[in-house]
Structure 1
């Protein structure tokens, strides 16, 4: 039952992030977007490990890794913006 809850919460997080970026409310480097994607993907990755679904393990942890790359890009962009000001 716990893994069902984790999978639903994770999926809702990823889908919410996607919906907010598609609607123009968030941009790709917004902290909320990145956080929802990373945490949601990690939750889904844990469920995939429990279910021994190799394809989903790869997908979810790759998705979380791409989110971390986005965090690095956001930090660099802020440093550049702060240096200009």
Structure 2
């Protein structure tokens, strides 16, 4: 796939999560929002790496990593049983 097309797909993925959050369709801790950020920023980080665009790699790499950590945290919380007795 063309480098430019991948850039547009990555950017649209990140922007879709952002717009959905701004319009109240999702929250910053939702799986959809965090997945969009992780994947979109990850694609952009990989493209920055391949083109040796270090500033953009720093931005998108950190964006993707922080989103991925938050996503794992949310997923773990969803699958942790409630410790209170019933």
Pairwise same-fold verdict (TM > 0.5): yes
Deviation string for 1:16-75 (max 9, x for gaps)? Answer: 100001111101121111111111011111111122110111111100111112113312
Gaps of 5+ in 2: none
| Bigger Rg over Cα | 2
Aligned twin of 1:35: 35
User: TM-score scaled by structure 1?
Assistant: 0.86
Gaps of 5+ in 1: none
Structure 1 stretches of 4+ with a deviation exceeding 3 A read none
Output the aligned Cα RMSD: 1.8
User: TM-score scaled by structure 2?
Assistant: 0.85
Aligned twin of 2:64: 64
* Aligned residue pair count: 84
